[in-house]
């Protein structure tokens, strides 16, 4: 088995000294909401099963603000998987003018964060 196949099949575990967190990005009331999955379970009486606990870490319709939320995600630990809720695709149901508006705001926030990160690294190494 090749190294690449080992990685794809999950045989290689990467060790680090930071926690890995997964996030879900959703649209709600005209804002993009960033929620972190916690490494805890809680009982849901309605569904009669355990759910993973979550914590909302930011919400806004301002991409610059959301870029700092993205930075906080990176600073808090290793970002595992970022899931997007279907509310991002059907954003008109969640207070946005067009269905693509919520995703556009999040994409812009990521672009702002990556540009800021690039500029900081460039200045540091110049």
Kindly state whether residue 85 falls inside one of the protein's structural domains: yes
Distance from C-alpha of 38 to C-alpha of 20, rounded to nearest angstrom? 10
Q: Output the CA torsion 46→52→56→61 (10° steps).
A: -80
Kindly state whether residue 62 falls inside one of the protein's structural domains: yes
Kindly state whether residue 2 falls inside one of the protein's structural domains: no
The pLDDT score that the predictor gives to residue 1 is 40
Kindly state whether residue 7 falls inside one of the protein's structural domains: no
Measuring CA to CA, how many Å separate 17 from each of 37, 44, 77, 81? 19, 32, 9, 18
Kindly state whether residue 126 falls inside one of the protein's structural domains: no
For residue 117, which of 59, 70, 55 has the smallest C-alpha distance? Answer: 70
- The whole domain housing 38 covers 20-118
Q: How many domains does the chain have?
A: 1
Kindly state whether residue 4 falls inside one of the protein's structural domains: no
The pLDDT score that the predictor gives to residue 95 is 96
Q: Pairing mode, if any, of strands 49-60 and 31-44?
A: antiparallel
Residue 93 has which token pair?
């149901």
The pLDDT score that the predictor gives to residue 44 is 80
**Helix (H), strand (E) at residue 125:** helix 101-125
Kindly state whether residue 82 falls inside one of the protein's structural domains: yes
| Residue 107: DSSP 8-state | H
The pLDDT score that the predictor gives to residue 18 is 59
Kindly state whether residue 5 falls inside one of the protein's structural domains: no
Ordered per-residue pLDDT tens for the chain, 126 residues: 444 444 444 444 444 455 788 899 999 999 999 999 887 888 888 888 888 888 999 999 999 999 999 998 888 877 888 899 999 999 999 999 999 999 999 999 999 999 999 998 888 887
């Amino acid at each position: 088995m090749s190294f690449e196949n080992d990685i794809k099949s999950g045989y290689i575990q990467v060790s680090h000294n930071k926690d890995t967190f997964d996030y879900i990005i959703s649209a709600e009331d005209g804002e993009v909401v960033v929620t972190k999955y916690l490494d805890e379970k809680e009982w849901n009486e309605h569904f009669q099963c355990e759910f993973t606990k979550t914590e909302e870490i930011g919400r806004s319709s301002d991409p610059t603000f959301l870029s700092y939320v993205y930075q906080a995600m990176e600073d808090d630990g290793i970002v595992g998987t970022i899931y997007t809720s279907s509310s991002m695709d059907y954003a008109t149901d969640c207070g946005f003018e067009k269905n693509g508006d919520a995703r556009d705001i999040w994409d812009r926030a990521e672009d702002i964060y990556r540009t800021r990160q690039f500029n900081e690294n460039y200045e540091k190494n110049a």
